[in-house]
Amino acid sequence: MVEIKPFRAIHYSKDVIGRDLSAVITQPYDKIDAKMQDEYYRKHEYNFVKLILPREENRYEMAAKRLKEWKEKGVLVRCRAPAIYVYTQEFELQGKKYVRRGFIAAMRLHPFEERVVLPHEKTHRGPKEDRLNMLRATKTNLEAGFVLYKDDGRVRDIINETIKGEPKFYGVDDYGTVTRLYPVKDPEKIKVIQDVLRDKQVVIADGHHRYETAVYFRDEMRSKVPDWKENHAFNYRMTYMVSLDDEGLVVLPTHRLLAKVKIGEDHWDQIRKYFSVEEIDPAEAEAYLDARRDKNAFVVYQDEKAYGLELTGDVSSFMDPSWSEAYKSLDAVVLREVIFRIMGVVDPKIDEDIFYERWINDAIARVDGGEAKVAFLLNPTPPEKVLEVARHMERMPQKTTDFYPKVISGFTMMPIDEGELL
């Protein structure tokens, strides 16, 4: 079902930039704020932010103009032969070291209703229009999508063998993550990777907006190119692919903070009908959650006290019967449909009624500082659950997943103009 192909990537020239791309690589465009954008601009004349997020008003024209100029100057060059690119990210999280291993390939586009590439979260109109304008101007995949698949061990073996050699490029990002890129040009190895993916479904981890934009752009190009072929590059998207069982695949929790209401005594009476409740030391919040990863459990922090909650009762009456069991078992759904409803919180507005935090200490600090009334601390969503929910064609609540680290931009690009064939 999933078709991938090698492609001739556009990349920075080793002669101009070198193998160390630390000065030119960036976070994904949607993670770059104005301050970071300025820092990238100052960092290097050819920093990648000038392509994915120019600060000029005519940003799309400027991106296309720079892309053309940088190619003409030899700042950007193309691989001579098609390849699949092993892409690893080495990082440290709370004192533990990880290496996420995956690869970048051209993946055939499928609308979501074809149930080959599955979404797991809702998208909004604005970002799609922005990236569509960028695609129209540059006719290039500037950034890779990020999907998850299920390996049978054969791709892992190829990756592990490949990374014994020297990377073609490497770079250290703003947060200390070391990314390395290794082209794989051996047709036999490429065929093995293609065979592993052929009968699979994949689920989008990050980049839903860019994926939907790519499908729309594909259809636009098909209407403009009357004799289009299946191997036209615009039928594909440059995609970073990671196995669900990769040891470096990390999903962080996203904690919820309510700005205007906290749990009152009447709320606690209702909550105790469905959850066990025990007061715990706030410093033990992470340990409490970690010991209950296979359960629906939360830590509530308010009024300088922490409480451990574990689901013990039947909450099916709070749930829509049309939802799958996988969806109904998500911590974010249990919190939203049970605890929030008991509190009278329905459809809270982001940055007005509800805030999100990645780290427990930051969530607690915002409550102690008076920015929020209560924090709800959650466990991370297991990657397998993401695929399980997606297979039911259901979209998870906002901020249910936070794959860490983000896929760093600036290592590869893929042209998708009218004349580009794979």
DSSP assignment of 5-58 equals E-B--EEE-TTTT-SB-TTT-B--GGG--HHHHHHHHHH-TT-THHHHS--STT
pLDDT band at 399 (very low <50, low <70, confident <90, very high): confident
Cα 323 from chain centroid (whole Å):
24
Least confident range of 141-150, 203-212, 315-324: 203-212
Cα 386 from chain centroid (whole Å):
12
Tokens of 58: 């005519």
pLDDT band at 125 (very low <50, low <70, confident <90, very high): low
pLDDT band at 124 (very low <50, low <70, confident <90, very high): low
Alpha-carbon distance values, 253 to 149, 331, 390, 410, 416 (Å):
21, 10, 18, 27, 36
pLDDT band at 407 (very low <50, low <70, confident <90, very high): very high
CATH level 2 (architecture), domain 253-379: 2-Layer Sandwich (3.30)
Tokens of 198: 């052929």
What's 316's DSSP letter?
Answer: G
Residue with tokens 């752009």: 217
The mean pLDDT of 323-351, rounded to a whole number, is 95
Closest CA to 413 of 85, 69, 130: 85
The mean pLDDT of 231-239, rounded to a whole number, is 98
Closest CA to 181 of 417, 416, 409, 406: 409
Q: What is d(CA 289, CA 272) in angstroms, rounded to the nearest whole number?
A: 18
Residue spans of the domains in the chain: they are 4-250+404-415, 253-379
| Pair 10, 413: CB distance under 8 Å | yes
Q: Given the DSSP bridges, would you call strands 236-243 and 145-149 parallel, antiparallel or unpaired?
A: parallel
Beta strands in 265-402 (DSSP E): 275-280, 297-302, 305-311, 354-357, 374-377
The mean pLDDT of 303-314, rounded to a whole number, is 97
pLDDT band at 350 (very low <50, low <70, confident <90, very high): confident
% of the chain at pLDDT higher than 90: 92
Confidence (pLDDT) at 127: 61
Residue 123 has pLDDT above 80, yes or no: no
Residue 276 has pLDDT above 70, yes or no: yes
Closest CA to 162 of 206, 203, 132, 193: 193
Q: Is the dihedral of CA 139, 142, 143, 149 positive or negative?
A: positive
- Per residue in 48-66, pLDDT (tens digit) is 999 999 999 999 999 999 9
Confidence (pLDDT) at 154: 98
pLDDT band at 386 (very low <50, low <70, confident <90, very high): very high
Tokens of 105: 């390939």
Closest CA to 102 of 7, 241, 206: 241
Q: What is d(CA 229, CA 224) in angstroms, rounded to the nearest whole number?
A: 12
* Average of per-residue pLDDT values in the chain: 95
- How many other CB atoms are found less than 10 A from the CB of residue 282? 20
- How many other CB atoms are found less than 10 A from the CB of residue 347? 8
Residue with tokens 């919040």: 285
Confidence (pLDDT) at 222: 97
Q: What is d(CA 232, CA 290) in angstroms, rounded to the nearest whole number?
A: 47
Alpha-carbon distance values, 292 to 171, 286, 289, 299, 378 (Å):
37, 10, 5, 11, 10
Residue 121 has pLDDT above 90, yes or no: no
What's 112's DSSP letter?
Answer: G
* CA-based radius of gyration for the chain: 23
